[in-house]
Amino acid sequence: MNILLSTAFVFCWSSGFIGAKLGAGGASAVTVLMWRFLPLALVLLVVVTLRGNGWRGLTARQVAGQAVIGVLSQSGYLLTVYYAIRLGVASGTTALIDGVQPLVAGALAGPLLHQYVSRRQWLGLGLGMAGVALVTLADAAGSGVAWWAYLIPLVGMLSLVAATFLESRTRTPVAPTMSLTIHCVTSAVVCTALAAALGQARPPADAAFWGAITWLVVLSTFGGYGLYWLLLRRSGVTEVNTLMFLMAPVTAVWGALMFGEPFGPQTALGLTVALAGVVIVHRSGRARRPASSVRSSGSSPPPSRTAAQPAGHRGPPVGCAPSPTSPGRNRPAPHPERSGRAHGPPGP
């Protein structure tokens, strides 16, 4: 059963990048995200309201803090990913750039959070960045996309990193369902405001657009996010984070088969190098983590990696990534669509 669930999870989480490519064919990034987040935010608000006690105990400061994290981890991250894909950046390339987010977060944990960063983590970061460079150069050589377009998903990845560190400084934890609701409502407001300001709020009338929206909501958000939490409870955070390593290669192959995106020897080499970097960091984190931290008892979600021990992107199916994790909290890692996350991400 776990093998089937794991396969479905990788499929659904990777589908966020493919769905972004489908939506980019007929509408702008803000239009796609507006109509993705609006129904999702309404559904979550109804669910939380029906539960009765969802908002109880939340302070205005907590809501505001989660709103800022939502802007960084979803609005900022997803807008850049969708915009880059619309400009022609391959979906596999954006997925790979997104996938090195935990490596960057781990390296920055030293100077920003005064946490120990090992040589293996620096080695992993170097390999991850080398892999990204190889894949990006291969993509750019055959696509004719402007060089600066490849900086856009990098900005989104850094937005995700910022959300992770902001969450790590949050003193009072917020229940995952509530943080997800606040993030999605915030993103719905931001994307709707941007779409209205740019005159891009009206959705296309063609069925392909609504097919992409359905794809993103059903597969990427409910499928990816739901399976994320289910697997997290059944298998633990370490096993789920290991599955995150598969997102970039699966997306790259999927994009090549579905859209004819470039996938040659250099792309395969870059994915392998980046994957090796993530595996090195993952094993380094596992070696330092006590065995008892892999699973938690009771109804609380299992503890997630710390910012200094990233093990793979959390991230948001790209859409609604679980919340970023903070050190020492009994909350699963996001992504994300992620976010890493860290978020994880959210994938898109």
Q: Residue 36 phi/psi, 5° resolution?
A: -85, -40
Whether 326 is covered by a domain: the verdict is no
The number of beta carbons lying within 10 Å of the beta carbon of residue 291 is 7
User: Amino acid identity, residue 173?
Assistant: P
Count the helices and strands in the chain (H runs, E runs): 14, 0
Whether 241 is covered by a domain: the verdict is yes
Extract the residue ranges of the chain whose pLDDT is less than 50: 290-345
Q: What is the pLDDT of residue 79?
A: 93
Query: What residue numbers bound the domain in which 252 lies?
Result: 2-293
d(CA 137, CA 194): 32
- Please provide the distance, in angstroms rounded to a whole number, between the alpha carbons at the two ends of the chain: 26
Q: What is the pLDDT of residue 258?
A: 92
Q: Which residues pair with 347 in a beta bridge?
A: 336
Whether 348 is covered by a domain: the verdict is no
Whether 207 is covered by a domain: the verdict is yes
Let me know the angle formed at the C-alpha of 325 by 321 and 329, rounded to the nearest 5 degrees: 135
User: Amino acid identity, residue 282?
Assistant: H
Residue 207: its H or E element: helix 207-214
The answer for residues whose C-beta is within 8 angstroms of residue 201's C-beta and 6 or more apart is 31, 34, 192, 195
Domain count, the chain: 1
Question: Does 339 sit behind a cis peptide bond, omega within 30 degrees of 0 on the bond before it?
Answer: yes
Structure tokens at 208: 């392909």
CA distances in angstroms from 114 to 1, 69, 125, 307, 308, listed in the order given = 41, 21, 18, 11, 9
CA distances in angstroms from 28 to 14, 267, 341, listed in the order given = 21, 28, 26
Whether 116 is covered by a domain: the verdict is yes
d(CA 296, CA 340): 20
Report the predicted TM-score, pTM, of the whole model to 2 decimal places.
0.73
Whether 313 is covered by a domain: the verdict is no
Cα Rg of the chain (Å, integer):
18
170, 113 Cβ separation under 8 angstroms: no
Tracing tokens 């007929």 back to the chain, one arrives at 26
Whether 320 is covered by a domain: the verdict is no
Whether 331 is covered by a domain: the verdict is no
d(CA 190, CA 1): 39
DSSP state of 307: T
91, 76 Cβ separation under 8 angstroms: no
216, 225, 180: which is closest to 69 by C-alpha? 180
The answer for residues whose C-beta is within 8 angstroms of residue 318's C-beta and 6 or more apart is 16, 17, 19, 20, 78, 81, 216, 220, 336, 337, 345, 346, 347, 348
72, 169 Cβ separation under 8 angstroms: no
